[in-house]
Structure 1
C-alpha cells in the first residue's frame, strides 16, 4: 500500500496547538493562488545532447576540504524512475538536469561538529528558544486560541511507538508528540542525552539552524538537484543508490523494518539513529544518502514545481521554485527535505528511494531531521 505523507508541521508548539484545537485541518485553497515556480536565472535551455560549460572535474589548485568529497558535474534525470511503484505524484514527471561539480560532506553533520559550532558561536537553536505567541499566531488561522503558558515552552517533536496497529497512517499525530525540553542536546526529550554519541547525526535542527551552521563553516545547503544527483552515486535510472533490489535495504540503510509504527525489528541493527558510516557508501563515497535522518535542501517545496518542468529541456543548476506552495499547509512555508530516515518503511513513505522528497516547514525540527553541507568551486577560490 502506498501512503502519501503530508509534511510534519511545526517543531514549535504550533504543532501541538493545531492538533489540540483542530483549527487548521482544512485550509482554503482559494486563499493563495498557485505562484510561478521557476527562478528567473534558470530559464529552460534549448534541448542538448551533451552538457556544455559545466564544471566537471575538480580544479587542480583547489584541495578537497576535510570531510568532503568531490562530486563531478554532469547531467541526470531528476525525479521518479519508471519502474518505481512507490513513487508519489510530487516526484513526477522526471526531467533533465545538469549540475556543476561541487564538494559535499561525506556524512551528515554530526553531534560533535555541531557542538563545536555552538561552542565557538554560542548559537541557540530554535528548539531551545522561548516561544513568542505574537509571532506564532501569524502562522495559524485567525481566532486560534492561545494555549496555556505551561504548553508554550521550548521544545520539539519526538517519536513514540504506538501500542497497537494504526489503521490510519495519514494521522501522524498518533506517533509524533510535542515534547518540552527536546532539542539537539536532548533529541528524544529532556531525559535523553547525546553523551557518547559524537558520531551520530545531529538532529532537532530546523532550517534556520542549518543555515547558521553553514555560515559558520563557509558552506551552504545543497539544492534538491545537487542532493539527488549526488545520491545517485554515479549510477542512473535506479530506485535506490545500490540498484532496484529492495531485499538488501537493511544492509544499505537505517530504516524502519517491521510494522510501522508499532514494532521495529531492527533488522538493520538500529532502533533509532545510527552513527554515521554504519552502512556502505554510494559510488561517490557518500554515507547515509538513504535513511538515518532527513536532510535539508535549499529548495522551496511547491507541489506544482515538477509538473512545470519539461522532460525534454535541460535545466542547468536549477534552484527550485521561487515560492513555497502546498495546498495542505497554506499557512506555512516549507523547504524540501531528502533522504528519508530511520522511521521510513514501505507502508509509510519508503523515502530511502533516491527520488523521494518531503516538505518540512522552515521552523520545523524533529528527532529524525538533520543536514549535510556542500561547497562550490567559487566558494573556495
Structure 2
C-alpha cells in the first residue's frame, strides 16, 4: 500500500473509533464501518424539490446493519484489484449484443471506433447550455476508467483516499463479494443518510447546502459552466473532507453518487406503501424507467460534486436517481454494508 494510503487508513481508524459506542461496535471484524441501529422512518420527499418518484412518503422499518463510514476509496479498490485481477466494465470493450438489448429495436450498431474501452467524463461547456441535454457536459472518452478518471494522462497517484469512480453496478457487486459485504438497499441507504434526524432535507438538517460553511462537495455556481469552488474541490474530494452525519457517516451528500442494490422503478413507492409500513424492502423485482423501458437500471443515491439546486439537488436524502447497471461515470462510486 502506498505511504499516503497507509496514512489515510490510520486516520480512517481514528475517526471511526469515537463513533463506535454501542455493543455492536469496536468489532475488529468491521474496520472502517459503523453500526447503524435499526428503526422506522418516513421514506420519501421532504420538500418542494421532490420528484414524482419520491412519493408517496411511506413508513419503512429496517433492521440494523454495518455501513462503511466513507465511500470506497481508490486505495481499497486497488487492494481488491491486486487480490483478484478483476477488470472493470470501463476497461473492457463493450459487447454490442448486450448493449442493443437496452435500446429500441432496429438501433444501428455504432461505428467500431466507439466500441472500445471507455467511460463518461465530465467536460464543462464554455457557456450556458440547455439542461435537458446532458451530452453538453458528458463526453464518452476512450481510456477513461477508475485508474484514469479524466481519461488518458490522468492518474489517481496521490489520490488514494479519494472515492473510486467509473464503477459499474457489476464492479461494485464484485468488490462487495470479495470484501464479504454487499450494497445497501435503497431503504437502508436513506435511513443511514438521515443520520438520526427526522423529516429533514439533508444529512446535516435543513440549512441550504450553500449557506454557512461547506457541508458537502457539490457544484456552487451556474451548472454546468461555472463553478465557484467554494467547497475547495472542482471534482471529487478526499473522503471525510466534511463533517459526518449523526451516525458518523461521511459524504452521504455530494462527492459521488452511490450504487444501491435495488432495481429502479419510478412507481415503486406506490406499490410498496402499506398502512402498517413495510419491513426491510429490497426494491422491485425488475427495473422500470419510462424514459428507457428496455434498460436494466439500479438506484443511485446521495448526489455528487456536480449536483446543484438549479439542476438535480441530488444531495437531498430522499433524492432518487438511476442508471444502467453497466454504466461507469466520473461521479459514480459506492459504499458497502454488512449485517
Q: TM-score, normalised by structure 2?
A: 0.90
Q: 1:284 to 1:169 in 2, by over 3 A?
A: same
**In the alignment, what sits opposite 1:67?**
32
Counting matched residue pairs gives 317
Per-residue CA deviations over 1:120-160 (Å, capped at 9, x if unaligned) read: 00000010012222332232222222222222111000011
1:187 corresponds to 2:152: no
1:93 corresponds to 2:56: yes
Look at both structures and tell me which one has the larger radius of gyration over its CA atoms: 1
CA distance in 2, matches of 1:100, 1:292: 27
1:325 corresponds to 2:321: no
> Which segments of 5 or more consecutive residues in structure 2 lack a partner in the other structure?
1-21
1:219 corresponds to 2:178: no
**In the alignment, what sits opposite 1:133?**
96
Q: 1:60 to 1:180 in 2, by over 3 A?
A: closer
Q: 1:58 to 1:318 in 2, by over 3 A?
A: farther
**In the alignment, what sits opposite 1:30?**
none
Residue number among 45, 63, 79 corresponding to 2:44 in the alignment: 79
**In the alignment, what sits opposite 2:219?**
256
Maintained 8 Å contact 2:101/2:295: no
**In the alignment, what sits opposite 2:70?**
107
CA distance in 2, matches of 1:262, 1:211: 34
> Which segments of 5 or more consecutive residues in structure 1 lack a partner in the other structure?
1-56, 377-381
Maintained 8 Å contact 1:64/1:70: no
Relative contact order, higher structure (CA 8 A, sep 6+):
1
Q: RMSD over aligned Cα, in angstroms?
A: 1.5
Residue number among 207, 214, 221 corresponding to 1:245 in the alignment: 207
| Secondary structure of the corresponding residue to residue 211 of structure 2 | helix
Matched ranges for 1:200-219 at <5 A = 200-219=162-181
CA distance in 2, matches of 1:58, 1:289: 24
CA distance in 1, matches of 2:282, 2:23: 22
Per-residue CA deviations over 1:195-239 (Å, capped at 9, x if unaligned) read: 100000000000000000000000000000000000011111110
Structure 1 moving runs of 4+ over 3 Å: 57-64, 247-250
CA distance in 1, matches of 2:176, 2:48: 36
Residue number among 148, 169, 174 corresponding to 2:111 in the alignment: 148
Q: 1:224 to 1:60 in 2, by over 3 A?
A: closer
Maintained 8 Å contact 2:44/2:54: yes
| Secondary structure of the corresponding residue to residue 222 of structure 2 | coil
1:367 corresponds to 2:330: yes
Maintained 8 Å contact 1:108/1:201: yes
Q: TM-score, normalised by structure 1?
A: 0.81
